[in-house]
């Protein structure tokens, strides 16, 4: 038995929000007579933390404690439009709508507090649930008192609405792909180093360590961001060495219909995962956030492929890197075809290998 | 800044750990019927017979629906953008993948619903099925749809997504080395622990309350309303709490059909997919086929890249055209490549339709471009970290569609990983930043691609 | 069949071969155990049967006759969380939450049999439980901290074990 | 298609014997009887309507559980949970601990594992190889007649008889080598068990190289030369394709596992 270790790296980029934009999210907020805040949005929480993150944004923006917030994304009667939780957009796009709605609420609280306190609202701020005169912190009025005054005294409902929509970036030249506007919101970046152990007799690959660095824009809740990155790392590990709907691809035979035959990563597949977060704020996300939920499973597969090459000297370019693929590659010991300045790998996989008509991949030389 | 940036516990954390979070399957409405689907047993076949009368007459069976019951049979995932649809909600005269729904039954128990499905009489005429995307791509292969095997509705009714930038021929001519490779990541199951599920309850005022695990309440609301040709407020989607999604629960896979059953039975109906249905019939991440040829200089500059991408959409296009477009916009990865020639096709096969999944369109790029980059470094005998830093996106460099990057952090993230693994970098690489290219980092071939970041 | 669920006795008729999961959810309205696969493959339906963790989708209800069954609702209520529940909150060990009840019950059983904070032992004990969201590491941290007898501040969450915040982040 | 429903079938007659004798009587000649050990195989097969038995014989209260040692002779009741074996010596202990995860091992039984029908997607019967390598005997009943015979003979007719217990002599040395399988909700793709008896007899057996466990007599005969034994093992089995591994891969790796088992046996000698 011979086990070999190897390390490989990869660096990636990924856009936040829907490609080409044009995807609205909206939010509305009302304030109860005791100052507690009800947030309504249509952003599903699929584990991605919509409820938590948008509540944090609203609490921070208005200036009240987090536990004053109730967040209701439960139905389409009470919530305004949200395109949905996908495309790494829930924090960035829907969170921005929540921030905008909260700013309106804050402004209304300050206006009514100004009347109550007989101070210009511009000279007031909200800190930890209290409206405070700037420079004279002993002059203050609780947000609950302001909300009560609005309800019973001024006959007003304190509300705020926010809508976030970046215009759709159209492709104006389908020949070249030229667009009329930037087609992305923010772009985030990451790199990854993977360490593996490869058994050259059975072809088994174990990922032993993943070191990863993500530019998260701003970690609105670092524990949450870690969870996204760690969860993504395991999904990336699955993509790299385990998961495949069609084990005999392109054949559809023996497709697994159970967790016993479809290999989703389990706890014992876990490598050590080290995370470095860089905060390089986005220009227009809420508090500088970027969306990193999706990209979190992108850098591992190529880093693992390079680590396998480092360990046993073969490139496996069909995922996942199964024991069988490693053994077949070790057996074939394929070298690229070298002709002139061309170095051609994987000829047997190319469309050219099966083409009967004119559909070939031609490369100028 | 006390709340933002703080490690606040999850809003739903206590509910999760006490079993109080209510998922769709936990909603218990008395008298709810169970739904079950008749699914295609063939990868590709004509439907020669469909007779539901025996199933309908079984005691305890309250509704059976087929394509005839759907007001607008075809409404696509991208129809809201004005793009023609290609997938019927229920198969009409042809099935194009194994597991495609043909009819649904609502009955008083799950076992009875299954028995009623078995009682539906259906006949098929098998047709050849295509699974190898390279063969499906070939213009001489049998056709899966009448218009062929290529998705035909990109801008200008083109059947290919193109990117063209710079002068690709010159780049390959001037290259010292051209490295070619083929990259094929697999189809992946989203496998959230909660399977596809919905429950629809008829309200006394004629509205339908739809308990849904959708990732996108309003998107799904629009899809249901369009198929059923009803105003949006006929329906109340209740959800927002989803047991994992990863892209697969944007599909609105259950809601519309369950509404149709409810409208027929006038009773609440639940449709919960089994894990086996989830694995075998729900959409997957696509298998991709990517061919790359990269023109490089011996000191590691990337002059140009030619790429062919085939995106396996399975039997119907769903979100695949969106995914391929996103793929094309990001097909250079984290690097500035001045000369590009990209052709991408959404190709139909007789696989389960593929859809969005975490990293949609770009997970494939990351694998192809990064593995290729490691091969290039290896071929040239260069350090894989240094070659990346050299070609990394910087402020003012332009994307494949000519948009200037405003604040990329490729350089910084790579430097951080180099440091973490103890990889010693030469001083000029260690001190690099993302500032606009000058001097040695702005060779002649990169000058023309630099754009303006103003107004972005 | 006599099933005592979270201390409440129930008399249940029906097939002894029906999965306990279906009896709990559909006959007794106890929704804590989740139906993730009905194949024994995911662990989200795990309950304690006389204190032992069992996949309720695999266990014939007849085999639970006369036993004490604990579902997630039988751990602490929201105002009276058990240490393992507090740990899952403090360590941010749940995301979508669908695997959480099964995961916690398996963890509680591990702790009840004297399990330590050794990560490998925890991984081995919970190995058959699939979580698609978290990547497991925060779950292991939560179980380990509970095994150590830590107390948990529920107003905040723990700093990730292997995290570095670069360029002036909040930590 | 085979995507069936999650539904229990009320039509099945349930038999729950309270002793071994009652179990033997209830089993009768086995016609239309599906035997339920822990339920880990039968229950999901019924849920997915792959199995709709007329009668189900549930053995949970029939006794039949426990490990007894009489000198060097070990007897394991059919209803003993797989988990009870994990601390036994190789090959049985490591083989048992490689089965599924703790919860399933604690519910699934030795008898259920040994008598499992072919899996519809992957091989079942992970323990078969280990018991075959130990030269185990099976005590079983049908039509009231109780007999004990070599496990191999029993396995060939396991649908017609009710397994009561398995017995074997503690080996002088044992070894187990399986494919690394960290995601435990997964069957063994391929494993080899080996044991040397006190009289020097060497037995090797494989699980996962074919539909159920198989002795590797050609490999045993060539055991003096591990490389040759590994290749010889391929004459004894017909590897298959399934969701976990291809026949090609199993053919490549079976010799490796045989060599590893022989090396481990040599070390422990």
Is D60–C17 a contact, with Cβ atoms under 8 angstroms apart?
A: no
Count the helices and strands in chain B (H runs, E runs): 14, 15
Q: For A59-103, write each residue's pLDDT tens digit.
A: 999 999 999 999 999 999 999 999 999 999 999 999 999 999 999
pLDDT for position D170:
97
Q: In this complex, is the C-beta atom of D107 within 8 Å of any C-beta atom belonging to chain C?
A: yes
Alpha-carbon gap, residue D228 to B160, rounded angstroms: 56
CA C103-C109-C113 angle, 5° bins: 145
Q: Does B146 touch chain C (CB under 8 A)?
A: no
Q: Judge whether D9 is closer than 8 Å to chain B, CB to CB.
A: yes
| Mutation choice for B interface testing from D2, D3, D51, D185 by most B CBs within 10 A | D3
Residues of chain D contacting residue A265, judged by C-beta atoms under 8 Å apart: 183
Residue A272 forms contact with C (CB below 8 Å): yes
State whether D183 and A269 contact (CB < 8 Å): yes
Burial label for D224, CB within 10 Å (0-12, 13-18, 19+), is exposed
Q: Which of D1, D43, D47, D48 to mutate to test the interface with B (most CBs of B within 10 A)?
A: D1
**Nearest C-alpha of chain C: how many angstroms from B245?**
9
Determine the angle formed by the axes of helices A323-332 and A300-312, rounding to 10 degrees.
Answer: 40
Q: How many CB atoms lie within 10 A of CB D165?
A: 24
d(CA B453, CA B395): 8
Residue B91 CA to residue B82 CA, distance in Å, equals 22
Q: Report residue B135: phi and psi, to 5°.
A: -75, -40
Model confidence, pTM: 0.97
pLDDT above 70 as % of chain C: 97
Helix (H, G, I), strand (E, B) or coil at B188: strand
Give C69-103 pLDDT, tens digit per residue: 999 999 999 999 999 999 999 999 999 999 999 99
Q: CB under 8 Å to B363, separation ≥6 — which residues?
A: A239, A297, A298, A301, B185, B285, B357
Q: Given an 8 Å threshold on Cβ–Cβ distance, is A48 in contact with C159?
A: no
* Count of alpha carbons within 13 angstroms of residue B331, beta-carbon side: 36
Cβ contacts of residue A261 below 8 Å, gap of 6+?
A: A254, D121, D122, D186, D242, D243, D244
CA–chain centroid gap for A59, Å, is: 22
Identify the contact set of chain C against chain A, taking CB-CB distances under 8 A.
Answer: 37, 39, 41-42, 92, 95-97, 122-124, 126-140, 157-160, 162-171
Q: How confident is the model at residue D184 (pLDDT cuts 50, 70, 90)?
A: low
* Contact call for D7 and B109, based on CB within 8 A: yes
- pLDDT by residue (tens digit) across B391-429? 999 999 999 999 999 999 999 999 999 999 999 999 999
pLDDT at residue D164 is higher than 60:
yes
Beta bridge partners of D14: D56
Average pLDDT over residues C4-10: 97
Q: Say yes or no to pLDDT of A277 above 90.
A: yes
CA distances from residue B175 to A65, A192, A342, B302, B333 in whole angstroms, order as listed: 60, 29, 10, 9, 20
**Per-residue pLDDT for D62 more than 60?**
yes
CB contact under 8 A, C46 and D46: no
Q: How many CB atoms lie within 10 A of CB D142?
A: 16
Give the minimum alpha-carbon distance from B53 to chain A in angstroms, rounded to a whole number. Answer: 31
**C-alpha triplet B178, B301, A10: angle, nearest 5°:** 90
Cα B253 to chain centroid distance, Å, stands at: 14
How high is the pLDDT of residue D7?
Answer: 43
| pLDDT, chain A, mean | 96
Q: A142 with A191: CB under 8 angstroms? A: no
Of B134, B169, B279, the CB nearest to A351: B134
Average pLDDT, chain D: 92
Q: Which of D26, D43, D60, D86 to mutate to test the interface with C (most CBs of C within 10 A)?
A: D43
Q: Rg (Cα) of chain A, in Å, rounded?
A: 27
Residue A20: what are its φ and ψ, rounded to 5°? 75, 0
Q: What is the mean pLDDT of residues D250-259?
A: 98
Q: Is A270 close to C123, i.e. CB distance below 8 A? A: yes
Cβ <8 Å between C73 and B6: no
| Interface touch C78/B20, C-beta < 8 Å | yes
> Which residue among D183, D248, D256 sits closest to A265, beta carbon to beta carbon?
D183
To the nearest whole Å, the CA of C151 is away from the closest chain A CA by 18
Q: Chain A: nearest CA to D121, how far in angstroms?
A: 7
Give every residue of chain B whose pLDDT is below 50, as ranges.
none
| Selected residue of B363, B421, B452, B453 to mutate for chain A interface (largest A Cβ count, 10 A) | B363
Query: Which residues in B lie closer than 8 A to residue A76 (C-beta atoms)?
Result: 217-218, 221, 232, 235-237
For chain D positions 6-25, those within 8 Å of chain C (CB to CB) are 6, 8-10, 12, 14, 16
Residue C42 phi/psi, 5-degree rounding, is -115, -30
Whether D3 sits inside 8 A of B280 (CB atoms) is: yes
Per the CB < 8 A criterion, the answer to whether D212 and D123 are in contact is yes
Shortest Cα distance, chain B CAs vs residue C125, angstroms: 19
CB spacing of A224 vs C137 below 8 angstroms: no
- Which pLDDT score, from 0 to 100, does residue C171 have? 41
Chains that touch A (3 or more CB pairs under 8 A): B, C, D
Other C-beta atoms closer than 10 Å to the C-beta of D152 total: 18
The answer to whether the CB atoms of C133 and B244 lie below 8 A apart is yes
Q: List CB contacts (< 8 A) between C127 and chain D.
A: 101-102, 182-184
Per the CB < 8 Å rule, is D245 touching A323?
yes
B91: helix, strand or coil = coil
CB-CB under 8 Å, A222 with C135:
no
Report d(CA A237, CA A264) in Å as an integer.
9
Regarding beta strands A337-339 and D13-15, do their DSSP bridges make them parallel or antiparallel, or are they unpaired?
unpaired
Residues of chain D contacting residue A201, judged by C-beta atoms under 8 Å apart? 253, 256
Rounded to a whole number, what is the distance in Å from the CA of D65 to chain C's nearest CA? 15
Write down the ipTM of this complex.
0.97
Distance, in angstroms, between D70 CA and closest chain C CA?
30
Helix ranges (H only) for chain A are 50-62, 95-117, 143-148, 222-237, 300-312, 323-332
Sign of torsion over alpha carbons C13, C99, B25, B95: negative
Q: How confident is the model at residue D3 (pLDDT cuts 50, 70, 90)?
A: very low
Question: What percent of chain A stands above pLDDT 90?
Answer: 95
Maximum distance among all alpha carbons in chain A? 86
Length of chain A: 365
Q: Do B240 and A73 count as a contact with CB atoms less than 8 A apart?
A: yes
Of A181, A237, A156, nearest to A20 (Cα)? A181
- Candidates D5, D9, D10; nearest CB to B274: D5
Q: Tell me the nearest-neighbour CA distance from A297 into chain B, angstroms.
A: 7
Q: Quick one: pLDDT at residue A279?
A: 95
| Interface probe, candidates C106, C122, C135, chain A, greatest A C-beta count within 10 A | C135
Q: What's the pLDDT at D4?
A: 37
Chain D, nearest residue to C64 by Cα:
D60
Q: Give me the residue from B16, B28, B194 closest to C94, CB to CB.
A: B16
**Sequence-ordered strand ranges (E) for chain C:** 2-5, 8-11, 46-49, 52-55, 68-70, 163-165
**Which helix H or strand E contains B13, and what residues bound it?**
helix B13-17
Distance separating alpha carbons of residues A211 and A9, to the nearest angstrom: 9
Q: Do C132 and B274 touch (CB under 8 A)?
A: no
**Beta strands B235-238 and A187-199: pairing type?**
unpaired
Rg of chain B in Å (alpha carbons) = 26
| DSSP assigned state of A153 | I
- Residue B455: its pLDDT value, please? 55
DSSP annotation string for chain D: ---------TTPEEE--SSHHHHHHHHTT-TTEEEESSSTTHHHHHHTTS---SEEEE-TTS----EEEETTEEEEETT-BGGGGTTSPTTHHHHHHTSS-HHHHHHSBHHHHHHPPPPSSS---TTHHHHHHTT-EEEEEETTEEEEEEHHHHHHTTTTSEEEEEEEEPPSEEEEEE----S-SS--S-EEEEEE-TTS-EEEEEESSSSS-EE-HHHHHTTTSHHHHHHHHTTT------SS--HHHHHHHHHHHHHHHHHHHHHH-
- Does residue D8 have a pLDDT over 50? no
Q: How far is CA B322 from CA A83, B160, B351, C143, D267, in A?
A: 15, 13, 19, 42, 60
The DSSP annotation for A66-107 comes to GGGEEEE-SBTTTS--B--S-TT-IIIIIHHHHHHHHHHHHH
Q: Which residue of A lies nearest to C168 if distances are taken between CA atoms?
A: A279
DSSP assignment string, B225-290: HHHHT--GGGEEEE--B-S--TTGGGS--SHHHHHHHHHHH-S-EEEE--HHHHHHHS-BBPPEEE
| Nearest residue on chain B to D52, alpha-carbon basis | B111
């Amino acid at each position: 038995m011979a086990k070999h270790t190897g390390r490989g790296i990869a660096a990636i980029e990924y856009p936040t929000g829907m490609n080409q934009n044009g995807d609205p999210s909206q939010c509305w907020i009302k304030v109860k007579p005791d100052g507690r805040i009800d947030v309504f949005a249509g952003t599903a929480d699929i584990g991605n933390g919509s409820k938590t993150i948008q509540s944090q944004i609203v609490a921070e923006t208005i200036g009240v404690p987090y536990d004053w917030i109730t967040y209701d994304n439960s139905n389409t009667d009470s919530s305004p439009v949200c395109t949905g939780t996908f495309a790494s957009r829930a924090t960035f796009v829907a969170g921005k709508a929540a921030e905008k709605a909260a700013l309106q609420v804050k402004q209304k609280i300050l206006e009514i507090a100004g009347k109550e306190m007989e101070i210009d609202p511009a000279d007031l701020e909200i800190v930890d649930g209290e409206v405070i005169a700037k420079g004279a912190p002993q002059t203050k009025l609780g947000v609950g008192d302001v909300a009560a005054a609005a309800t019973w005294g001024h006959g007003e409902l304190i509300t705020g609405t926010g809508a976030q929509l970046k215009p759709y970036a159209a492709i104006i030249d389908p020949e070249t792909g030229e667009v009329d506007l930037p087609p992305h919101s923010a772009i985030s970046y990451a790199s990854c180093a993977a360490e593996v152990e490869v058994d050259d007799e059975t072809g088994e690959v174990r990922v032993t360590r993943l070191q990863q660095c993500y530019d998260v824009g701003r970690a609105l809740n670092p524990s949450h961001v870690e969870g996204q990155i760690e969860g993504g790392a395991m999904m990336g590990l699955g993509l790299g060495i385990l998961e495949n709907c069609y084990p005999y691809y392109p054949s559809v035979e023996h497709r697994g219909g159970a967790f016993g035959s479809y290999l989703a990563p389990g706890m014992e597949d876990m490598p050590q995962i080290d995370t470095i977060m860089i905060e390089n704020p986005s220009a227009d996300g809420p508090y500088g956030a970027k969306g990193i939920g999706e990209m979190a499973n992108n850098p591992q597969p190529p880093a693992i492929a390079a680590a396998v090459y480092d360990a046993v000297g073969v490139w496996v370019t069909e995922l996942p890197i199964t024991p069988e693929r490693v053994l077949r590659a070790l057996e074939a010991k394929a070298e690229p075809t070298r002709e002139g300045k061309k170095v051609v790998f994987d000829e047997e996989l190319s469309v050219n290998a099966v083409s009967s008509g004119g559909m070939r991949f031609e490369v100028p030389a | 800044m006390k709340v933002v940036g703080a490690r606040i516990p999850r809003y739903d954390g206590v509910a999760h750990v006490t079993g109080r979070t209510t998922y769709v399957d936990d909603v218990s409405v008395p008298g709810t019927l169970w739904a079950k689907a008749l699914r295609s047993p063939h990868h590709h076949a004509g439907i020669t017979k469909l007779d539901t009368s025996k199933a309908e007459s079984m005691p305890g069976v309250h509704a059976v629906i087929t394509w005839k019951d759907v007001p607008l049979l075809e409404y696509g995932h991208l129809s809201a953008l004005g793009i023609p649809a290609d997938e019927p909600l229920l198969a009409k005269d042809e099935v194009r993948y194994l597991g495609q729904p043909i009819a649904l039954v609502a009955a008083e128990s799950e076992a009875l619903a299954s028995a009623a499905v078995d009682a539906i009489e259906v006949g098929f005429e098998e047709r050849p099925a295509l699974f190898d995307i390279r063969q499906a791509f070939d213009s001489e292969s049998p056709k899966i749809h009448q218009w062929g095997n290529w998705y035909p509705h990109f801008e200008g009714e083109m059947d290919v997504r193109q990117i063209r930038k710079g002068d690709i021929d010159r780049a390959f001519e001037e290259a010292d080395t051209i490295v070619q490779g083929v990259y094929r990541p697999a189809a992946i199951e989203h496998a959230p622990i909660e399977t596809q599920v919905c429950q629809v309850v008829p309200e006394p005022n004629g509205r339908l309350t739809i308990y849904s695990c959708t990732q996108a309440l309003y998107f799904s609301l629009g899809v249901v309303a369009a198929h059923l040709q009803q105003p949006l407020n006929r329906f109340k989607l209740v959800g927002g709490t989803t047991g994992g999604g990863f892209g697969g629960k944007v599909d609105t896979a259950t809601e519309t059909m369950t509404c149709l059953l409810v409208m027929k039975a006038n009773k609440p109906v639940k449709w919960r997919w089994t894990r086996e249905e989830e694995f075998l019939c729900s959409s997957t991440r696509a298998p991709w086929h990517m061919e790359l040829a990269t023109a490089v200089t011996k000191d590691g500059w990337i002059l140009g890249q030619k790429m062919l991408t085939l995106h396996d959409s399975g039997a119907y296009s769903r979100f695949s055209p969106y995914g391929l477009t996103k793929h094309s916009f990001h097909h250079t990865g984290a690097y500035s490549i001045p000369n590009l020639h990209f052709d991408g096709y959404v190709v139909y096969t007789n696989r389960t339709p593929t859809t969005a999944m975490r990293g949609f369109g770009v997970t494939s790029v990351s694998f192809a471009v990064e593995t290729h980059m490691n091969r290039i470094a290896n071929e040239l005998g260069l350090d894989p970290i240094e070659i990346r830093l050299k070609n990394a996106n910087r402020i003012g460099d332009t994307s494949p569609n000519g948009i200037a990057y405003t604040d990329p952090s490729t350089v910084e993230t790579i430097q951080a990983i180099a440091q973490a693994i103890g990889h010693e970098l030469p001083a000029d690489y260690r001190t690099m930043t993302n500032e606009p290219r000058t001097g040695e980092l702005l060779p002649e071939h990169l000058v023309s691609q630099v754009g303006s970041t103003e107004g972005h | 069949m006599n099933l005592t669920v979270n201390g409440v006795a129930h008399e249940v008729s029906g097939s002894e071969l029906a999965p306990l999961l279906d009896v709990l959810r559909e006959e007794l309205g106890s929704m804590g155990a989740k139906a993730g696969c009905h194949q024994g493959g995911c662990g989200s339906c795990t309950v304690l049967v006389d204190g032992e963790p069992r996949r309720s989708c695999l266990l014939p209800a007849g085999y639970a006759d006369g036993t004490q069954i604990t579902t997630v609702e039988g751990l602490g209520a929201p105002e009276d969380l058990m240490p393992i529940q507090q740990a899952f909150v403090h360590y941010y060990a749940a995301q979508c939450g669908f695997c959480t009840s099964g995961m916690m019950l398996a963890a509680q059983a591990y702790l009840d049999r004297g399990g330590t904070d050794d990560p490998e032992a925890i991984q081995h004990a919970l190995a058959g439980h699939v979580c698609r969201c978290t990547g497991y590491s925060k779950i292991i941290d939560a179980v380990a901290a509970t095994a150590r007898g830590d107390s948990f501040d529920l107003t905040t969450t723990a700093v990730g074990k292997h995290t570095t915040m670069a360029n002036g982040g909040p930590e | 298609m085979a995507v069936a429903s999650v539904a229990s079938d009320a039509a099945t007659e349930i038999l729950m014997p309270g002793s071994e004798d009652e179990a033997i009587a209830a089993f009768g000649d086995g016609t239309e009887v599906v035997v339920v050990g822990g339920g880990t195989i039968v229950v999901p097969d019924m849920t997915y309507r792959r199995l709709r038995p007329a009668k189900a014989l549930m053995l949970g209260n029939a006794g039949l559980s426990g490990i007894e040692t009489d000198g060097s002779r070990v007897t394991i009741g059919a209803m003993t949970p797989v988990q009870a074996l994990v601390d036994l010596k190789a090959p049985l202990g490591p083989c048992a601990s490689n089965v599924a995860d703790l919860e399933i091992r604690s519910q699934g039984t030795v008898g259920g594992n040994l008598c499992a029908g072919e899996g519809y997607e992957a091989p079942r019967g992970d323990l078969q190889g280990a018991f075959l390598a130990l030269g185990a005997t099976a005590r079983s009943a049908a039509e009231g007649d109780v007999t004990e015979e070599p496990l191999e003979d029993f396995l060939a007719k396991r649908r017609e008889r009710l397994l009561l217990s398995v017995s074997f002599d503690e080996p002088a040395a044992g070894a187990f080598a399986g494919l690394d399988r960290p995601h435990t909700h997964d069957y063994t793709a391929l494993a080899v068990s080996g044991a040397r008896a006190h009289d020097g007899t060497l037995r090797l057996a494989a699980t996962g190289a074919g539909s159920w466990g198989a002795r590797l007599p050609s490999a045993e005969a060539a055991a003096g030369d591990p490389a040759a034994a590994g290749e010889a093992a391929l004459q004894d089995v017909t590897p298959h394709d399934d969701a976990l591994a291809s026949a090609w891969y199993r053919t490549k790796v079976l010799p490796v596992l045989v060599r590893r088992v022989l090396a481990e046996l040599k070390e422990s000698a």
